[in-house]
Structure 1
C-alpha cells in the first residue's frame, strides 16, 4: 500500500489544478513555457499581440498532448488590454494561480540615436507592461500564487549600444526585489528569470549586435566557447524548465530573486 501511494505521488503533476497566464507565448521562449506548464498539469492562457495563427498552433499542440489551453489577444503595452486579458482568463477558468510575464521587445541604438519614442516603446512593454500585468494578476492570486517576470543578463552585462534595453531589464529585477515583501504578506512569491543567449528567432535576428565590432570576424563557435561556460546557446525548453521550477511548490521559499539562466557567462 505504501509503495502504491508513493508511486501515485510521483506520478502527480506539479501544477495540477493550476491556471497560468503566459504573456507573449505564441512563439519562442513563451511558447515553450506554455507547453511545459501544460505538461505539468496547468491550464494555460496563451497570450499574443498580433499573431493569432501562431497562438492557435500552440493551443492546438497543447490540446493534442492532453492539456487545456486558450489563446487570448492583448497588447502588453496597453493597460486596458492587460486588464481585459486577466479578466477573461479568470472568467474562462474561474481562478488564477500563476503569471509568467514573458512579452518584451529588443532594442539596440547609440546614445545619440535614442528618441523619446524609442524610450516609451521599450519601457511601455518591458517595464510598464510587466508592472501592470503583475498588478492585474495580483488582484486574483491567493496564497501560494506565483509570479515570474522576465529580466535579462543584459541588466548586469555591458554590451555596446544596448543601454535602453538593459536599463529596462534592470528595472524588472528591481521590481521583483521590492514587490517581494508586499506580495509576501499574502503568501505570493515573485521572481524573475534572466535568460542568456537562447536559440530563438529573436536571438538569431540580433546575435551579431551582441558581439563587439572588433570580434565580427571571429567564428560563432569560438565566441560561444569564449563567453559561455557550457559553450552553447540555451534551448527555449531549458528556460521554460527554470520558469516551471519557480512557479512550482519546489520554489516556495524563493522570492524577490532574479535567476540567471545563462550557461555560466564568463564575462
Structure 2
C-alpha cells in the first residue's frame, strides 16, 4: 500500500514520548518532516536524538505548553517557518485525569479542558490558513471514555467527548478545503504510567504476564502497544485514507461497547 506521505510536514503535540513519539518515528520512516512539542526540554532533546538515531532524519522540536494559547500559536508558526508548509496536525498532548465528580477540583476541570479541548481548537484554527490552499489531515487523539464514560472517569471522559464532537463537526466544515479530520479513541495502551503500575504493583510478573492480567476484560486479552496506535494514526493522515473523515476509530482491543 502506498501511503503517499513522503515530503509532507507534520506537527505532533505531546511528541516526546508514548504514542506521540512512536507516531513521529513512523511518520519519519515514511519520509515525513516532523515537528514535535512538549513542555519538558530535556525530554524533547532525548526524543530528538532517539528519532535521529532510528531514522537518520532531523526532527524539529519546540518547547511549548499546549494549555497556553500563545504556545499553541508559536508551535504552528515556528513549524511553518522552519519547513515552509504544513500538511498534517496530530493533537496528542494529554494526561490521565479520572476521578469521581465530587472529587474533581475547579482547577482540574479547567486544566483538563484547556489541554484536551481548547489546545486542539487553537492549533486547528492556527493551522487552518496553512492547510486551506493545499489540503491536509488532522487527527486528534481522544479516548474510548469519551464514548462510554463510566464512574470515576471525570474530567477526562467529558473533555474527550467534547473532543470527539469537535472532530465530527469540524470535518463537515473543513471538507471543502480537502482537509480531513478524524479522531482515534485510545483504550489501554502501554505507557510510562502503565509501566509504573506494573513495576509497583506486580514486580514479580513479566510484562506479558502483567499485560494479560490487565487485559482480562479486553477481548484481545492484552494491553495495546504504542506502535499499534501509531499505525492507525499514520494510516489516517496518509493518502491511503483519502476518503476517511469525521470518524472516531477505537484502538482498545475491542473493549468498548460502542462503535
TM-score (norm 2): 0.88
C-alpha distance 105-181 of structure 1, shift in aligned 2 (>3 A)? same
8 Å CA contact retained: 1:176, 1:191: yes
2:175 paired residue number: 184
2:201 paired residue number: none
Shift in Å at residue 61 of structure 1?
2.3
Corresponding position: 1:62 with 2:62: no
8 Å CA contact retained: 1:14, 1:41: no
Q: How does 1:67-86 map to 2 (within 5 A)?
A: 67-86=57-76
Shift in Å at residue 266 of structure 1?
5.9
- 1:177 and 1:160 mapped to 2: Cα distance? 25
Match of 2:22 among 32, 35, 45: 32
C-alpha distance 222-68 of structure 1, shift in aligned 2 (>3 A)? closer
1:116 paired residue number: 106
Q: Secondary structure at the match of 2:7?
A: coil
1:253 paired residue number: 243
8 Å CA contact retained: 1:153, 1:260: yes
- 1:184 and 1:25 mapped to 2: Cα distance? 26
Corresponding position: 1:175 with 2:160: no
C-alpha distance 220-37 of structure 1, shift in aligned 2 (>3 A)? closer
1:235 paired residue number: 225
8 Å CA contact retained: 2:91, 2:141: yes
* Cα deviations by residue, 1:204-230 (Å, 9 ceiling, x for unpaired): 4579xxxxxxxxxxx8734513x2111
* Cα deviations by residue, 1:77-129 (Å, 9 ceiling, x for unpaired): 11111001100000101001100000012112222222221110100001111
C-alpha distance 20-256 of structure 1, shift in aligned 2 (>3 A)? same
- 2:127 and 2:10 mapped to 1: Cα distance? 10
Structure 2: which 5+ residue stretches go unaligned? 199-209
Q: Secondary structure at the match of 1:140?
A: helix
2:203 paired residue number: none
Shift in Å at residue 203 of structure 1?
3.3
Bigger CA drift: 57-66 or 133-142? 57-66
Aligned CA-pair RMSD:
1.9
- 1:70 and 1:140 mapped to 2: Cα distance? 18
C-alpha distance 192-266 of structure 1, shift in aligned 2 (>3 A)? closer
Q: How does 1:113-152 map to 2 (within 5 A)?
A: 113-141=103-131, 142-152=133-143
1:5 paired residue number: none
Match of 1:154 among 137, 145, 165: 145
Shift in Å at residue 76 of structure 1?
0.5
TM-score (norm 1): 0.86
Name which one, 1 or 2, has greater alpha-carbon Rg: 1
Match of 1:52 among 19, 38, 41: 41
1:193 paired residue number: 184
